Structure formats: structure tokens, C-alpha cells
Amino acid sequence: MQEFRNKIASLCCFNVKNDPVLLGFKKLFGKSAEESFEGYAEIASTVLKSGKPLSEYFHDILVFSDSPVLNEFAFGEVSKADLSCLRKDALRYDLEVLRSLCEETAAQIQIRLNTFYDTLDFGKLPLYDNGVFNYTPDYFLDYVRTHGSGMFARYKAFTFDGELHPIDFPDTIKLSDLKNYEEQRKQVVDNTVCFLSGKPAQNVLLYGDRGTGKSSTVKAVLNESKYLRMVEVLKNDIELIPQLFRKLRDIPLHFIVLIDDLSFSENDDRFGILKGILEGSLAAKPDNILIYATTNRRKIIRETIADREVSGADAIDESMSLSDRFGLFVTFMKPDKRVYLDIVQKLAEDKRLEIPEEKLFAAAERFALKRGGRSPRTARQFVDWVDGRLALGLDI
């Protein structure tokens, strides 16, 4: 009765042997009824928590696994035609093992366990859905070429400080959550669509007042495409970007490198490094990477009055030289009263807040005054505040 244990031990292409479901299968028909009971419970618990049938659960752990065979293909080292028959047979073997685990239903396993052991009632344990596991080697090879493998299949957003760190819970904001500024967002979206389509696209500098939706626009663009990935680099780590390029160059996905709140002090070496990265360096930027940066400053170098008196036009030219190296410059300016209240109204409609418009607008203006000015961020904070108070039965 070692069939499950032997099958899982024989997996050779996918690094999934320590997965909790597979470890649970290894315990079935083990040394004792208690061990088998624990093994089945691990299988059922993990599959039920995933919210997916067993077949889809297996699909996910395979594409999320760090498989050398899939990585070699995904990263363009070999073509599908050049992938050896032996390696393809090995992929097919692993898939057949997992298919066989999906064929026997939870109810059938419980019956077998009750027949094998008479000290515990396995029928008291919950059932799980098996689904149908009918994936082929070609399916997985095609999948990793478009979606990536390993952590690039599992995660969409990362940070980089010399090492890539996945973001477990990225901001889920959508383009439909952002109100007004349609022309600005369209420029960013159109540029990103060109990038994903393999057409000429530009590095983007999003400039404007605080709270106008620059960073939110970039994050929303990420959430609109399953083929796009994003890596945030802090401005203090700009010198590490060439290293990041080397890591991402051969991965078959499109990446946006996000630098938020970009600015430099006078004589900051990172200013020249970023200029070279954008344009001017001997090392070309990989075709699968764009840089999107946000800033509150038109002149990215922060100058003192003394600096301007001494250097004059030369300092201005130097400061503007970085901005000019972004192919697309998108401006987000602080809204006037009319636009601010329009944003408030649209956000309130999204939340279906039942409150007279006159009262809503008067409260929105008071809220903006306390926050130091009108902005889309202030509008969102205000509407969230109103939503909370109304839910508690409080007045605004």
C-alpha cells in the first residue's frame, strides 16, 4: 500500500515534494491509522482552503514551483523543438503522477482507508473536489513563456534592494477607482499597451502635485494586465538598477520599474546614474523593461537660493536634462473646486452613499480645508470617512 508514497517520491521535474497536499498523500496507508487520518486531513484542509479543486491546486503549485526544466524553457535558453525528448518525457511522467492522484475521489479514498483500518472512521472527515487534471507538457511550456514560472508566475509586484522581494498583498486599486484625469491616465495606459504589444514605448515621468493620483495610476495599470510585472526601486537604490536589469533581461515577461517620489539633492551621484540608465549608457536597457517614475518637482534636482544665484541657467539645464530623458511626460495638477467636488460625487456614487449633494459638498470643502487643500487623495479620504460615519449612524 505504498503507492502514493512511491509516486510522489518519483517526481523528477517539479520541486513540489514538500507541498502539504503531497505530504498528506504520502501519509495515507502509512504506519498507523492515526498517521493516515492526519494525512487525509492535511489534504482536505489545504485543498478546501485554496478554494479550488485538487486539479487546479496542482496546476498552481506546478507553475509556481522553481522547476529547472521549465525555467530553462521559460527564460529562452532552449526552444520547444529543442527541448530533449527525455526532458519532455520527464515532464509527462510528473503530470501523469499528479493526474493519477486526482483520479481517485475523496470519497473513494475514505472507503479504502476505512477498509484498511478499522480503528478510525475516515467517513467523518470532509470531502474535497477533485476536478479534472488534463494538462500536457506543451500546455505548461506555453504557459511559462507567457506567464513566467516560479515567483514570477505567483507574484505581480516586487521590491528590489539587491535582491527581488515579492509583495504578498499589493495595492488592488483599479483604473475605474480613479476619477477624472482621464487624459493623463490614457497616455500612461496607451504607452503600456504599446509596451506589452512589442511596439515602441517610452519611459514615463509622472509629474504633479501631491495626492493627484500619479502612483495610483501606475499601480492601477499593473492590475489591468496579467502579463505585466512591476518592481519598485527606492530612489536611494537607483544605483542597483543595472543589476536589476541583468536579473530581468531574459525573463519572458514585461516589467515596469517604478521609482516613486523622485528627486535629488545637489551633487547626488544617483542623478548621473539614472541619466545613463535612461539614455546615454553603453549598456542598453532591456526591451522587456520600462521605467515609470513619479515626482512632485518639475526640476528634479532640489536647488537652494544660493545654488540658483551661483549657477543660474546651467543649473536649470542640468536639472531639466533628466526630465527630458523620459520619452513621455505626464502632468497631474491639483484640481480646482469644481473638479474636486466632481471627484467626491463620483466616489460617493461608487459607494452608494445616500446623502444630499449640498450637504456632501459642504462637508467635502470643510474636510479639504482641514487637510490643507483639495486633491483626489483628499476626496477619497473624505468619502471613506463619510462612509464610515454613516455606517455607524453618525452625522457628518
For residue 368, give the nearest of 185, 176, 178, 211 by alpha carbon.
211
Residue 181 Rama label (left phi>0; alpha psi -120 to 50; beta): left
> How many helices (H) and strands (E) are present in the chain, helices listed first?
18, 9
| Residue 222 pLDDT level (bands cut at 50, 70, 90) | very high
Is the pLDDT at 184 greater than 50? The verdict is: yes
Give residue 271's pLDDT: 85
| Residue 299 pLDDT level (bands cut at 50, 70, 90) | low
| 273 vs 282, higher pLDDT | 273
Residue 338 Rama label (left phi>0; alpha psi -120 to 50; beta): alpha
| DSSP structure class, residue 127 | P
Mean of pLDDT values over 290-319: 62
Mean of pLDDT values over 184-191: 97
d(CA 30, CA 42): 14
What average pLDDT is seen over the chain?
87
Give residue 304's pLDDT: 44
Give residue 11's pLDDT: 86
CATH number at 157-332: 3.40.50.300
Strands (E), 289-356: 289-295, 301-302, 328-332
Mean of pLDDT values over 291-309: 66
d(CA 227, CA 15): 24
> Percent of the chain beyond pLDDT 90?
60
d(CA 128, CA 43): 9
Give residue 242's pLDDT: 93
CA distances from 231 to 100, 156, 159, 179, 245 (A): 39, 9, 5, 25, 11
For residue range 348-379, what is the model confidence (pLDDT) as tens digits?
A: 999 999 999 999 999 999 999 999 899 999 99
> Percent of the chain beyond pLDDT 70?
88
Output b/e per residue, 361-378; b: 16+ Cβ within 10 A.
Answer: bebbbebbeeeeebbbbb
Give residue 305's pLDDT: 42
Q: What is the pTM of this model?
A: 0.82
| Residue 73 pLDDT level (bands cut at 50, 70, 90) | low
Give residue 285's pLDDT: 82
Mean of pLDDT values over 39-52: 96
For residue range 103-122, what is the model confidence (pLDDT) as tens digits?
A: 999 999 999 999 988 888 99
Pick from 65-79, 197-211, 283-297 the range whose average pLDDT is largest: 197-211
Give domain limits for the chain: 3-153, 157-332, 337-391
Give residue 306's pLDDT: 45
Mean of pLDDT values over 131-135: 94
Lowest mean per-residue pLDDT among 9-18, 91-100, 304-313, 314-323: 304-313
